[in-house]
A = this chain, B = another copy of it.
């Protein structure tokens, strides 16, 4: 586990990961691929051992049970998603920039760990035990609240229209979370590039606003009235 376990005293630990860690990471990659392809609850430790061509006993050395894998596959990747988006938000300026930064960083994480993303999502929704689910929910809430806060700040600053930050956050995250359903990783556009097109629409809207028109001549807000329930 520790990166220095088998390292030579001088610089080996800088040059290559510990062989044990590499093995563990290989097994994690196999687990993620199987979870992504077949679902979390339909993948057994035996499936992972078979795919890795090792005995179940050898796999147990790294992951004594599926709970240990949930910890690594779901919780660690949610934590890293939160860390990446937090860093991106902290570097951005205005609330609008922070929303963009949050969404672009999230799409970037999806681009660079598609199996991890899908496996994490599958495991989150399927067969997580109560305690694990609570830990995952806590992380998910931190992540979502970070976005909602950016939106609320934008509304408060007058940069954004008045809106429910929770609802707007759900809309933005639907665009992101639904992407693995249709986006082809070997297609023309990366998830991050798709997200930029989505953000252009989400930021400025479908309708072409005419600068000359006073706000009163906008299309009637017939939907808006009944939606503020």
Chain A residues near B (Cβ < 8 Å): 96, 99-100, 104, 125, 151, 154, 158-161, 163-164, 167-168, 170-171, 173-175, 177-179, 181-182, 188-189, 193-194, 196-209, 211-215, 218-219, 221, 223-224, 226-229
- Judge whether A206 and B100 touch: CB under 8 Å: no
Kindly list chain B residues whose C-beta atoms are within 8 Å of the C-beta of A196: 223-224, 226-227
Copies of this protein chain in the complex: 2
- Pair B160/A198 contact, Cβ less than 8 Å: no
CB pair B154 A227 closer than 8 Å: no
* Given A158-B208, A177-B181; A200-B224 close (CB under 8 Å): yes
Is B200 in contact with A202, judged by CB distance below 8 angstroms?
A: no
In Å, the complex CA distance between A91 and B226 comes to 21
Task: A227 to B196: give the CA distance in the assembly, Å.
Answer: 6
Q: State A179–B125 Cα separation when bound (angstroms).
A: 14
Residue of A188, A197, A212, A221 most packed against chain B (CB within 10 A): A197
